[in-house]
Amino acid sequence: MISSVSETTLPGTGAPAAVEASDDGLARASARRPRVLIIANQKGGVGKTTTAINLATALAAVGSRVLVVDLDPQGNASTGLGVGHNRRERGTYDLLIGRASVHEATQHTDVPNLDLVPSTVDLAGAELELIDMDRREYRLRDALTTVASDYDYVLVDSPPSLNLLTLNGLVAADAVLVPLQCEFFALEGLTHLLRTIDRIKRNLNPSLDLQGVVLTMADGRNNLTNMVAADVRGFLGEKVYNTVIPRNVRVSEAPSHGKPVLLYDLRCPGSQAYIQLAREVIRREAENHE
Ligand SMILES: Nc1ncnc2c1ncn2[C@@H]1O[C@H](COP(=O)(O)OP(=O)(O)OP(=O)(O)O)[C@@H](O)[C@H]1O
Ligand SMILES: [Mg+2]
């Protein structure tokens, strides 16, 4: 049951956040096994990493235990969570090739309740190495079985392509969360992604769901933004979150400080939007899986 909006302290900052209080059943998707959500869109620069970092932070702020898995060789989620290259000893690559357990590849971030499996430089070569391996599409799924009840959510940030790395993420996931930038070809890209999800559901991961589509970098004064948003809502209905992430310069500044925007500037519109999105995600998880 969701209680009313209350003042909650954002962990580690002492800063109050207007985060909806929730009882244990809501803040935690399941006491048994974490819900694995992949943030995916084969289109580049649409806000996948920004969403992974800030949704993870907002979920952690309401008391969920969250693990971010950086499945992108660009490593932007790792950098944005303040884990620079010199701190990345083991990472997603080691999970995929079976050289480390999740526990061994995980490190804490500055956000309480939020841990990270970082992307290391060798992840860029992992695709080639995986091709000849057993269960090549299931490597991440197999690795994540060992996290058991350590986390409530695992958020996987994926690269801008539908390659074998992304495929591993989609096979490991319970649901896909798609950030979509409101621009001209958005719907075409989305249709392609939905077809891929469907194919994976039929062949490799029957329980894969679409958690939802979040409109990102929206500029309410721009007619194209509004037209595309209306089209996407017409096409997907309730699968589109009510929350829209606005284009906000504070969101783009935060990664260079190695911080989620929620820690960089809690009160800016971008932070508030990600807090709203976390509420919606938690509510959907509760509705679908409790
Ligand atoms: N709401 C926002 N307001 C302003 N800038 C944003 C917002 N969301 C993302 N950005 C900026 O847009 C750029 C692309 O965002 P991001 O890296 O999250 O996209 P991505 O989909 O992960 O990209 P890639 O496909 O390369 O992995 C970044 O510079 C980011 O800081
Ligand atoms: Mg990214």
Name the pTM for this structure.
0.91
CA 275, 33, 1 angle in degrees (round to 5)?
A: 45
Domain count, the chain: 1
The residue contributing the CA closest to ligand 1 atom 23 is 45
Q: Is residue 111 part of a domain?
A: yes
Ligand 1 pocket test, candidate residues 74, 177, 252, most atoms within 8 A of CB: 252
Spans of the chain, pLDDT less than 50: 1-30
Q: What's the pLDDT at 32?
A: 66
Query: Closest ligand 1 atom, CA of 159?
Result: 27
CATH of the domain at 120: 3.40.50.300
Q: Is residue 235 part of a domain?
A: yes
Ligand 1: centre distance to CA 55 (Å):
14
Q: Is residue 214 part of a domain?
A: yes
Query: Closest ligand 1 atom, CA of 254?
Result: 31
Is residue 79 within 8 A of residue 51, CB to CB? The reply is: no
Q: What's the pLDDT at 12?
A: 40
Q: Is residue 290 part of a domain?
A: no
Q: Is residue 19 part of a domain?
A: yes
Q: Is residue 11 part of a domain?
A: yes
Query: Closest ligand 1 atom, CA of 252?
Result: 31
Ligand closest to the CA atom of residue 46 = 1
Measured from CB, residues less than 6 Å from any atom of ligand 1 are 44-50, 72, 74, 76, 160, 216-217, 245, 247-248, 251-252, 255, 270
- Measured between alpha carbons, how far is residue 43 from residues 179, 204, 220 in Å? 10, 22, 22
Domain that holds residue 84: 2-281
